[in-house]
Amino acid sequence: MIVAVATELNQRLAECNWLDSAPFDTVSLILRFGDAKPDTQIGAINTSHSELPVARELSMDACIERARAGTLLAYFRVETIVALTDVSRRYNLSLDLCDHD
């Protein structure tokens, strides 16, 4: 499921040239499962790989409930967009990717 979200959003980011003005070439997003935390953790840019580490912590209970309800993919999509929006705000990047949902 996470791969499906990544594939979809990678295409959207490429279409809107989101990375063109970014000081990094790649966002490495980790979705952690445990206790939900509202803030996106944005690390320092790894200059040797031009990679920005980003993480969000999701509630394991919420993931289980959404999996049972068949809405886990949508949940991962929303959480990924929240993370990318936070990155956009931090680095003054386009928020265009959010206009599609």
Number of domains in the chain: 1
Alpha carbons 15 and 89: distance in angstroms, whole number: 19
Q: How confident is residue 78, by pLDDT bands cut at 50, 70 and 90?
A: very high
Task: Determine the average pLDDT of the residues in 58-69.
Answer: 95
**Nearest one of 12, 15, 13 to 25, comparing CA atoms:** 13
- Give the 3-state secondary structure of 9-72: HHHHHHHCCHHHHCCCCEEEEEEEEECCCCCCEECCCECCCCEEEEEEEEEHHHHHHHHHHCCH
Q: How confident is residue 97, by pLDDT bands cut at 50, 70 and 90?
A: low
Q: Considering only residues 97 and 100, tell me which one the structure prediction assigns the higher pLDDT.
A: 97
Q: What is the pLDDT of residue 79?
A: 94
pTM exceeds 0.75, yes or no = yes
Containing structural domain, residue 22: 2-100
